[in-house]
Structure 1
Amino acid sequence: MGVPDMDEPSFTDSELDNHVKNALRAAIQGDNGFYNQLVAVIHHKERLVAEEVALLVTCLKAVTGAVSCINIVHHGTLLAAIFGMSLWNYGTDVMDALVELLVSLASSNGEYVDLCLEMLVVNFMPPSAPPAASYFVELLKQPRGLAKKTQVLDRVHSTLKDIANVVPLSPLRLEKIVRDRMPNIYTKEAFIVMYVENMLRLEGGAMGELVGSTILVSLVDRLIELDVEIAWDEILQDDFHKGMFDMELEDFEGHADHIEPDSNELTREALIQRFFCGNLVAEKLDSLMVLTFEHIKSCSESGRLVQVFEILLQSFQKTILTAYKAKFTQFVMFYACSLDPENCGKMFANVLVNIFVSGLNPEWRMSAVAYLASYLARAKFVPISFVAAMLDSVVNWCFLYCKNVDGDINPKSHKVFYAGCQATMYVLCFRMRQMIAVPRLKSQLLLMRIEDILGHPLKPLQVCLPSIVEEFLRLVKVNRVFSLPQSFPDYGLLESEHSRAFGGMERFDMFFPFDPCLLRKCDRYIRPNYVYWSMVRSTYDEDDGEGTSDEDVAEAYGGENGMSIPDDGSGRSYDEDNSDADEFDYSLDKMSITPRDSRFESRIHRFVQMPSKIRPSTSPESL
């Protein structure tokens, strides 16, 4: 057989097809002349002129017709050249010829399926090795770059579907490849975002039923990895003079260069700059969570949110619930619940209360009740009747615990009990006024035996965080809900050795996970359905200890079935569509907690010495 000159082709397509088949057979016998030329054409990486593009397309089509002659052992260099190609480096003619070849390879021999799938998954992103990475990062900012992205990714996904049609088991093999090839947290933001976009496109596509659960779990795992990398300890400092509900933005004092030394408050702009300037991990997490929110929204619109939420809930229990320093990932659950409070919202709360009541791992039970309390306190969309039902389950468990346990105060031995008590008081700090505005729920609250629990020899008021106890007792006194003994208020005002043992610095049991979210882009998804402390404060800030009628509170809160938050005086509508920056600034405004009461002020300053090395999402506004 003569060897045609690949540089100056003068043969027809059919002749080239025959030459390729013969070359593949000859290579097995050791005759590599034309085979090496074929590999060189496909392996060529330099910029191609028109004639070279035409030759490459012709060769790819010829190899497609000769896949039955390819041997994975003898033709390794050819296969390496094919699987080393990137769709991002070629025009549409080469792309089409290449993906056609991949489908033929996958259908011809099971040995090639994983190689074809992996090559397509690699093309979820442009080449990420320098200097190509920088080139594509800039290209994707331009219209022609976005057009290229569409051309490549449309072909990637259509080819994955074509391979699934000819190899029905390929989606099961694809899910492992997608998980294994997922970029690490140090990958450039543009690339990791693009990869996740493609993951979610798979989950929402034809193969979603087969690969969707793995994709969602892998995504949550990556979010958590980013989340725990954010080092709040570098931003915050100890402050031994503020209680949980007194944590204001001045707790960030001294962390921005342009703040005056005598300033008691860190401006919103300084906090944003401090947190986001150069914090690439936070920015990546923010972008990925927005992608996740948008995907959840699309699932809701297509009627499959409950199905997706069940997967997220399983992942939550395995990953987020057990993550010690999760700060933001949990808002994926919050947002999903806000889109379907009746199904997803109630499912989430029921799972949490069941873990607390029936779980075996004490730390997970404490985390679950903290999540439950934070969710019930912060979710504007949760009906107050459901809040009361969930709270009743927690209080009932605490009451039965008191009946079955003898002995005195012991934070270590009874930490799950104290976590339940602390969660109960925390929820009531946010929701008490709303509950007592509804006669039926007020009666239910009075029947919860909270007085018996707080008066038990285990003395939860001396163990739970003083700032929560202080605010709870203040509201009890203002609203005259319980007939607490006169000695009760003294229990919470002193940070005893017991409260330090249970709370203390960096303790898991200080964790209330749905504290205000400080991610810029995420804020607009959370804010419309989120209860800030200043919103609650506005309903009793002017009471001056005299209380408010049930009718007044009912009108302020919108009755039993929802939470209609009154205007805070800023003139801003909470459903108003504003820019991301404005919305984020507004969120920071709402981090201000707990009103000051002159009758308690002196005692607070004398007694409360609470350690507060607190992260914004694990602040004493949290458990």
Structure 2
Amino acid sequence: MAMATSTSSKLDFESILEKQKQGYYKDYDWLSSRLSDPEIETSELQTYIRSIRKCVTHLDRDYEVLVGIMLKLNWATRESCLIKEYQAFLLNLVSAHTYYLRAGVRMLVKHFMSHLTIVTKTGEGGDKNVEITVDDSLRQKHDLMFVNVHLVLKAITQIVPMTPKVLIPLLGELFPFFNKDVYIQECYVKNLLQITHYLPKMRQKIMEIVIERLLKFDVRSPREEIEELQREEDEDMEDIIFEMDDVSVQKEIVSSVDMLSIVETVPMSHKEGHKLDVLMEITFRYIHNLCYSEGELDWEATKLLYRELLLIFETLILPTHASCHVQFIMFYICSLKQPICEGFLDYLWKKVQDPIAQPVYRQISVCYMGSLLSRGIFVPLSTVKTCLEMMCNWIHKYLDQTGDVTLFADVTHHGPFYAVVQAILYVFVFRNKDIFESCKGLKWAEKLNFQRIVTCRLNPLKFCLPVVVQTFASVARSHQLAFCDTIIERNNRQVLPVACTNGNSDFGGKILDSFFPFDPYILSRSRKYILPLYREFQGSIEEGEDEEENEEDDFITEDIISPSNGKFTIGSLSKTPSDLMEYGVSPGFKHVQDMFKT
């Protein structure tokens, strides 16, 4: 075994490889066995790695098994001397033999998924609980490991130009499964975003991978489920506090605890929602750090990031049905600077005007616009007023071009029209106080000619959400801008069917499907990035007259999302009328040139 044990020399290792080719496997198998030993000492392993590195050019495809063993070594958490030796070996390997590049990069990416010790405990009744403890010590250990991995991955990208083409597909392929612990998901996303710092040209593709996974978590975390679990948790907390006999103890507990900090640090009860919350916080922090790299807004960096996110929005976020929170990424970046917000509104408005675009996407786009105009504190009133003007002008031109005589009420044929009208009503309801308090606000509002809109033959009040119609009617009546009550009463006497889910059904009489992309943000940890930017509804909500009289009109409180012929269509929320103003938004528009296309 002299040759086998003296592998520190290049000649001996070359001899092992040469003998293996000739059919003498004893030394080769012994070396493979030693490398596979998990108990091998650092000094011995370092010696083997150094010897193999010196003749790495000989490791062609005939030695894939040996290379595979080398790639499985536990190196990233060992002593620094061994780590450096292994990094040098890996660099030499992939530069000398590019056919090992994918295997090498795959090994590095798998290190982004931290390994956790899972303890299964049997509780009362025989129930088994899985416990995973992540403390500061473990985080520090993993952070150091991640640094070592990124150092070698960055070096590989610099010496092997084709690395990004191999890396990007692997990042998506190796993304942890949904059922993996939140800490594993957190580590993986953090490391993916870290790659963008040394591969900036790949940032958009990496962000696509991250946001696609966020969307999948989002649709697995319905708002209703999160709120229901939160209500149950709040009730349990109240029971605990008020079961105490000593009132002074209650006061001491309530006054000494920062409830907001508790909400931000305690994991959410909804498992998928909690994972989404953690990953959204990482994403918001990443965006903030990119845009404020030196403590002040870096305008050029912000513009570039916005363009990348806009492309992701178009391909992933806009077409995704039932997402509640991921779209706030666009909300957040729009808050950073006014031109970003205006650019996003401009992009959406062009989609609304595009006659070639599918009607459903035109409607979704207008919902996003209205949501932003209504909810964004950072959106100035001047922009809101200009957008309302543009929307109303578009509506009036739509009526002029189609002609009142030939028009008849039909959501199927005039869906974008009704969506724009609902946007006008909703944004006006949301911002009417600011409008009337502005200089000559009432005269400005009179010029919008609401009366023509609400009395046209297309009868938009029949198809818009009843709570929006009722609240707008109240505001318009009090300022004598339009008189909607007669129309509402006439519409109420007509029995409107609930929207069908069968794509072959007649949609002529259904209410307009509605989508509210910027409902209140309810994820506990990440909402700190949104709450300071977010406008809650201020004002009274009109819910119609007697509840029994309007019973047949209460069709919007149930879910009416319908996949028509396999295509996505917008759906309203299953909420009571009062909830819709507190938890709903709608459309709006941006001031740009040549906006009067239909």
Q: Normalising to structure 2: TM-score of the pair?
A: 0.78
Number of equivalenced pairs: 519
Residue 344 and residue 429 in structure 1: after superposition, are their counterparts in 2 closer, same or farther (change >3 A)? same
Residue 232 and residue 146 in structure 1: after superposition, are their counterparts in 2 closer, same or farther (change >3 A)? closer
* Shift of residue 324, structure 1, vs aligned partner: 1.5
- Structure 1 gaps of 5+ residues are 238-248, 261-267, 538-593
Structure 1 distance, partners of 2:382, 2:497, is 34
Query: Would you say 1:227 and 2:203 are equivalent positions?
Result: no
Identity across aligned pairs (percent)? 23
Match of 2:67 in 1: 79
Match of 2:399 in 1: 402
Query: Would you say 1:307 and 2:304 are equivalent positions?
Result: yes
Match of 1:333 in 2: 330
* Shift of residue 236, structure 1, vs aligned partner: 7.8
* Shift of residue 96, structure 1, vs aligned partner: 2.2
| Aligned partner (choices 105, 109, 124) of residue 121 of structure 1 | 109
Query: Would you say 1:141 and 2:138 are equivalent positions?
Result: no
Query: Would you say 1:65 and 2:54 are equivalent positions?
Result: yes
Structure 2 distance, partners of 1:469, 1:227, is 30
**Equivalence map 1:1-20=2 (5 Å):** 3-6=2-5, 11=6, 13=8, 15=9, 17-20=10-13
C-alpha offsets along residues 267-295 of structure 1, whole Å, 9 cap, x if unaligned?
A: x99xx99x976421100000000000001
Residue 214 and residue 485 in structure 1: after superposition, are their counterparts in 2 closer, same or farther (change >3 A)? closer
Match of 1:421 in 2: 421
Match of 2:271 in 1: 280
* Shift of residue 84, structure 1, vs aligned partner: 1.7
Letter in 2 for 1:286: D
CA contact (8 A) 2:473 2:484 kept: no
Letter in 2 for 1:528: P
Match of 1:578 in 2: none
* Shift of residue 176, structure 1, vs aligned partner: 2.0
**Equivalence map 1:578-593=2 (5 Å):** none
C-alpha offsets along residues 316-371 of structure 1, whole Å, 9 cap, x if unaligned?
A: 1121111110111111111111122x222111111111111115111111111111
Letter in 2 for 1:81: I
**Equivalence map 1:281-300=2 (5 Å):** 281-300=272-291
Structure 2 distance, partners of 1:334, 1:39, is 55
Letter in 1 for 2:310: L
- Structure 2 gaps of 5+ residues are 121-129, 240-258, 501-505, 559-572, 587-598
Query: Would you say 1:445 and 2:389 are equivalent positions?
Result: no
* Shift of residue 605, structure 1, vs aligned partner: 5.7
Letter in 1 for 2:335: S
Structure 1 distance, partners of 2:528, 2:75, is 36
Match of 2:564 in 1: none
C-alpha offsets along residues 393-451 of structure 1, whole Å, 9 cap, x if unaligned?
A: 32222222222332222222222211111111111111122123223665443333332
Match of 1:547 in 2: none
Structure 2 distance, partners of 1:193, 1:617, is 36
| Aligned partner (choices 529, 533, 536) of residue 532 of structure 1 | 536
Letter in 2 for 1:471: T
* Shift of residue 510, structure 1, vs aligned partner: 2.2
Query: Would you say 1:22 and 2:10 are equivalent positions?
Result: no
Structure 1 distance, partners of 2:425, 2:485, is 18
* Shift of residue 314, structure 1, vs aligned partner: 1.1
CA contact (8 A) 2:454 2:484 kept: no
Query: Would you say 1:193 and 2:193 are equivalent positions?
Result: no
Structure 2 distance, partners of 1:253, 1:510, is 29
Q: Normalising to structure 1: TM-score of the pair?
A: 0.75
Letter in 1 for 2:427: V
Letter in 2 for 1:208: P
Structure 1 distance, partners of 2:73, 2:324, is 40
**Equivalence map 1:3-402=2 (5 Å):** 3-6=2-5, 11=6, 13=8, 15=9, 17-45=10-38, 47-48=39-40, 52-72=41-61, 74-88=62-76, 90-127=78-115, 140-143=134-137, 145-203=138-196, 205-209=197-201, 211-232=202-223, 278-302=269-293, 303=298, 304-340=301-337, 342-358=338-354, 360-402=357-399
* Shift of residue 259, structure 1, vs aligned partner: 9.2
Letter in 2 for 1:70: L
Letter in 2 for 1:472: F
Structure 2 distance, partners of 1:171, 1:316, is 23
Instruction: Kindly report the root-mean-square deviation, in angstroms, between the aligned alpha carbons of the 2 structures.
Output: 3.6
* Shift of residue 179, structure 1, vs aligned partner: 2.2
* Shift of residue 4, structure 1, vs aligned partner: 3.0
CA contact (8 A) 2:464 2:511 kept: no
Aligned-partner SS, 1:226: helix
Match of 1:265 in 2: none
CA contact (8 A) 2:411 2:507 kept: no
Match of 2:242 in 1: none
**Equivalence map 1:449-488=2 (5 Å):** 449-480=449-480, 482-484=481-483, 487-488=486-487
Aligned-partner SS, 1:414: helix
Structure 2 distance, partners of 1:526, 1:491, is 41
Which moved further from structure 2: 148-157 or 460-469?
Answer: 148-157
Query: Would you say 1:517 and 2:517 are equivalent positions?
Result: no
Residue 353 and residue 327 in structure 1: after superposition, are their counterparts in 2 closer, same or farther (change >3 A)? same
